């Protein structure tokens, strides 16, 4: 997960994910992320792994407002649980999340990352 942590840190420092938090969650959880040279960063994370990484890189907790969530209504003391709860309410399997993930993937391509397609819809 070290590569994913570096990836998140880079996104945070450069603001690449600003306004695309649902898409970022969708990408982290359900898509393959590579560097332009083909180095695999991630093939997908569990919600728990994603929450732990968001805590570790100290992602801005106010970002949940993009999901329509009030940060004050999420667990205040346990930051990993905070992020896990936010992910659970983000509807990361929705068509909107897939669309947001596609938009973020296009932005990340300009920054040297290749993000795979969204997982196929279940029937």
Reading across the β-sheet that carries 40-42, which strands appear in turn?
40-42, 33-35, 113-115
pLDDT in tens, 50-106: 999 999 999 999 999 999 999 999 998 899 999 999 999 999 999 999 999 999 999
Cβ-in-10-Å burial (0-12, 13-18, 19+) of 81 comes to middle
H/E segment holding residue 114: strand 113-115
| 122, pLDDT greater than 90 | no
pTM comes to: 0.92
Spatial separation of the C-alpha atoms in residues 7 and 101, rounded to whole Å: 15
- Going along 3-85, which residue ranges are E strands? 33-35, 40-42
Tokens 């603001």 — which residue? 15
| Boundaries of every domain in the chain | 2-113
């Amino acid at each position: 997960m070290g590569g994913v942590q570096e990836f998140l840190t880079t996104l945070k420092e450069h603001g690449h994910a600003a306004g695309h938090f649902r898409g970022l969650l969708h990408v982290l959880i359900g898509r393959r992320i590579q560097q332009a040279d083909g180095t695999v960063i991630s093939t997908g994370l569990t919600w728990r792994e994603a929450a732990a990484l968001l805590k570790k890189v100290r992602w801005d907790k106010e970002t949940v407002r993009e999901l329509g969530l009030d940060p004050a209504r999420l667990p205040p003391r346990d930051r990993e649980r905070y992020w896990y709860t936010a992910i659970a309410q983000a509807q990361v399997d929705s068509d909107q999340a897939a669309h947001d993930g596609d938009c973020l993937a296009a932005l990340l391509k300009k920054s040297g990352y290749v993000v795979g397609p969204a997982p196929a819809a279940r029937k």
